[in-house]
């Protein structure tokens, strides 16, 4: 066993950890000890996230406690001589309620005023509550769409967005400065814990209802058939109620996935990006001939949708397709309402479809690109506040935000506005599929593909690191017979012209991301996941779509182009 691992194990065996934890350590194999203690959980694009269990590299009461005490110590430094206020929420995952109470106890033990949701709530409502209650920070206990073995800890700042540099690094420094668990104030001050629920629900719903633009279309098409699944998560607490208040009268909830359950019994992976997770919703949608299927992940910050194509078959849209539809609809609805003044903006990430850039430009709306992670979108909204009006934003991984009342992905509001978009389309004699194809004809047919390679554990992390190093130091010269003309290196913040050797600076925070552009119109992005043991490769190609009738022909050609690139790169 490596010396650093042995030292951490002995610290847990000899410290003031509970007997059950110590016994579990004694029963672990050397391989399990290595995986559980070889590193400390760190804040990535989604905060703290990991497999539940014993050890510094696992989600448990002590790693949650250390993260909370570190955050508390940093908040005291960031807001001296203030009564610090925080909000706390949790999702349906196993141990989420217990972890949330530990967080509340520690914050209150540090003298903070704690607003504590008494039952599970969506992540976007936590983001909203921070600003609504004038809090300095907030925490939601969730692992989003990860498998049932995982849990996580998302930390938020005063603006309701997840912590960004330098705050995230500074919090980690404070966590690392905790010498022992004796430095963690686990003892609660119950007088400082204020329970919240319905009042904040109501305030949140009211601000979402204000986002609606096509109320007349909803009234005329209020009976569209909507199928909704919460996939055993928090969306059930607010999505059906929101749809009802918006005026929709024909909503069908997938009953077998309605009850919150951290074991997610009907799915392998509670992620609306996965067809398996959408299968029960698809079945119901087909049975009732629905106009739209929507499903949210456990903490209701991501939404996947299914629509009927021109053959009457239900198909699942990917995150780029849904994002371009939703953002495009919001721009169009604002334009028809006379709300476009030249000072509006949309925001997306650098790996999200460039079709959105074209849509925005064609309608006089600015489009900004940020690093992956919704915290960067929230940060840009904050920077532009008072100068430009945020309409909508999104990322390819099924996360979207409408309006700036929330500063994180918001699947609750997205469900409401997607339903409105369906009503708007139907009011014009179209389906969402028709709308998607019309956009392709107007703005270009963009096709994207994501390949995720899972590399678990310590060896996997090292392999991912080596893969990125190889790509960075030896970029491909040709791909699919075309020259690679540009490389964007977000770790070294340089845009390189690979034909001339010239470099120009990139004005973004540092991130371990590489992007390559070929002369043949292929865009490739490589990025280690900040929340999962994966390295992700994003592929994007585009072509003109002369007419809707040629969709299948052009789609086939674009797919072949991507598959040829994937095959050439031998990603495995």
Report field, pTM of the whole predicted structure over 0.75: yes
Of the residues 443, 475, 505, the one at which a domain ends: 443
Mean pLDDT in residue range 318-327 = 98
Eight-state DSSP code of residue 47? B
Length of the chain in terms of residues written: 572
Q: At which residue do the structure tokens 């299948």 appear?
A: 552
- 277 and 422 share one domain: yes
- Among 424, 443, 462, the domain boundary falls at 443
CATH of the domain at 57: 3.40.120.10
Q: Quick one: average pLDDT of 266-283?
A: 96
What are the residue ranges of helices labelled H in 178-302?
198-209, 215-220, 239-246, 275-288
Q: Is residue 21 part of a domain?
A: no
Question: What domain count does the chain have?
Answer: 3
In terms of Cβ atoms closer than 10 Å to its own Cβ (0-12, 13-18, 19+), residue 76 is: middle
Domain end (from 191, 225, 252) = 191
Q: Which of 312, 350, 530, 555 is nearest to 433 (CA)?
A: 312
Q: Is 296 in the same domain as 379?
A: yes
Residue 95 has pLDDT above 80, yes or no: yes
325 lies in a domain?
yes
Mean pLDDT, to the nearest integer, of 252-267? 98
Pair 457, 352 in one domain: no
Residue 14 domain-assigned?
A: no
Q: Are residues 438 and 452 both part of a single domain?
A: no
410 and 480 housed in the same domain:
no
Asked whether 314 and 293 are in contact (CB, 8 A), the reply is yes
Range in 142-146, 239-243, 386-390, 408-412 with the lowest mean pLDDT: 142-146
More confident of the two residues 120 and 530? 120
**175-189, 239-253, 296-310: range with lowest mean pLDDT:** 175-189
The active-site residue out of 36, 144, 212, 529 is 144
Same domain for 261 and 227: yes
Each residue's pLDDT tens digit, 187-216: 999 999 999 999 999 999 999 999 999 999
Task: Quickly state the pLDDT bin for 529 (edges 50, 70, 90).
Answer: confident
Do 232 and 358 have their domain in common? yes
The dihedral through the CA atoms of 142, 318, 461, 25 has a sign that is positive
Question: How confident is the prediction for the chain on average, in pLDDT?
Answer: 95
For the stretch 102-127, pLDDT in tens is: 999 999 999 999 999 999 999 999 99
pLDDT at 46 over 80: no
Residue 319 lies in a domain: yes
Torsion of CA 408, 412, 417, 421, to 10 degrees: 120
At 389, list the tokens: 């009006």
- pLDDT tens digits for range 450-491: 999 998 888 888 999 999 999 999 999 999 899 999 999 999
| One-letter-per-residue 3-state SS of 444-456 | CEEEEEEEEEECC
Domain shared by 439 and 505, yes or no? no
Residues 134 and 230 in one domain: no
Annotated active-site residue 144? The verdict is yes
Q: What is the percent of the chain with per-residue pLDDT over 70, rounded to a whole number?
A: 99
Residues 431 and 468 in one domain: no
Q: Which among 469, 422, 198 has a CA at the least distance from the CA of 322?
A: 422
Range of the domain at 490: 446-569
Are 490 and 367 members of one domain?
no
Q: Is 34 within a domain? A: no
Identify the CATH number of the domain in which residue 511 sits.
3.30.310
Pair 171, 53 in one domain: yes
Residue 10 lies in a domain: no
């Amino acid at each position: 066993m490596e010396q650093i691992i042995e030292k951490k194990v002995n610290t847990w065996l000899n410290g003031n950890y509970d007997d059950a934890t110590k016994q579990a350590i004694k029963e672990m194999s050397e391989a399990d000890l290595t995986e559980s203690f070889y590193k400390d959980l760190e804040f990535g694009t989604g905060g703290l996230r990991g497999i539940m269990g014993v050890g510094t590299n696992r989600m448990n009461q002590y790693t949650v406690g250390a993260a909370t005490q570190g955050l508390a110590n940093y908040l005291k430094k960031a807001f001296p001589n203030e009564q610090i206020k925080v909000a706390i929420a949790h999702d349906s995952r196993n141990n989420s309620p217990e972890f949330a109470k530990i967080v509340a106890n520690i914050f209150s033990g540090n003298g903070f005023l704690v607003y504590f949701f008494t039952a599970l709530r969506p992540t976007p409502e936590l983001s909203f509550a921070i600003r609504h209650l004038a809090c300095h920070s907030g925490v939601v206990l969730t692992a989003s769409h990860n498998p049932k073995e995982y849990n996580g800890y998302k930390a938020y700042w005063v603006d309701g967005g997840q912590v960004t540099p330098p705050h995230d690094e500074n919090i980690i420094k404070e966590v690392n400065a905790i010498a022992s668990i004796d430095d963690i104030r686990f003892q609660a001050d119950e007088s400082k814990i204020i329970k919240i629920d319905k009042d904040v629900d109501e305030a949140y719903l009211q601000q979402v209802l204000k986002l609606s633009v096509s109320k007349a279309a909803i009234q005329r098409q209020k009976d569209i058939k909507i199928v909704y699944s919460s996939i055993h998560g928090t969306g059930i607490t607010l999505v059906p109620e929101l749809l009802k208040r918006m005026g929709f009268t024909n909503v069908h909830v997938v009953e077998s996935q309605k009850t919150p359950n951290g074991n997610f019994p009907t799915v392998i992976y509670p992620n609306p990006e996965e067809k398996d997770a959408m299968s029960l919703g698809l079945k119901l949608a087909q049975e009732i001939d629905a106009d739209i299927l929507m499903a949210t992940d456990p903490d209701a910050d991501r939404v996947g949708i299914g629509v009927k194509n021109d053959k009457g078959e239900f198909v699942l849209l990917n995150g780029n397709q849904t994002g371009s539809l939703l953002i495009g609809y919001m721009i169009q609805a604002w334009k028809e309402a006379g709300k476009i003044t030249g000072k509006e903006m949309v925001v997306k990430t650098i790996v999200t479809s460039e079709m959105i850039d074209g849509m925005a430009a064609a309608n006089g709306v600015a489009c900004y690109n940020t690093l992956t992670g919704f915290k960067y979108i929230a940060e840009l909204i904050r920077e532009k506040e008072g100068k430009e009006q945020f309409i909508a934003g999104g990322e390819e991984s099924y996360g979207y935000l409408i309006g700036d009342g929330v500063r994180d992905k918001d699947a609750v509001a997205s469900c409401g506005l997607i339903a409105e978009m369906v009503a708007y389309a139907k009011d014009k004699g179209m389906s969402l599929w028709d709308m998607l194809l019309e956009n392709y004809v107007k703005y270009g047919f963009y096709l994207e593909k994501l390949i995720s390679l899972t590399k678990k554990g310590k060896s996997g992390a090292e392999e991912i690191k080596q893969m990125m190093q190889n790509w960075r130091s030896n970029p491909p010269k040709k791909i699919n017979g075309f020259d690679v003309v540009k490389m964007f290196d977000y770790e070294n913040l340089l845009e390189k012209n690979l034909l001339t050797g010239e470099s120009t600076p990139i004005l973004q925070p540092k991130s371990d991301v590489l992007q390559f552009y070929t002369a043949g119109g292929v865009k490739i992005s490589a990025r280690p996941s900040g929340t999962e043991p994966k390295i992700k490769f994003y592929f994007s190609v585009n072509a003109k779509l002369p007419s809707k009738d040629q969709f299948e022909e052009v789609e086939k050609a674009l797919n072949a182009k991507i598959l040829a690139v994937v095959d050439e790169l031998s990603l495995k």
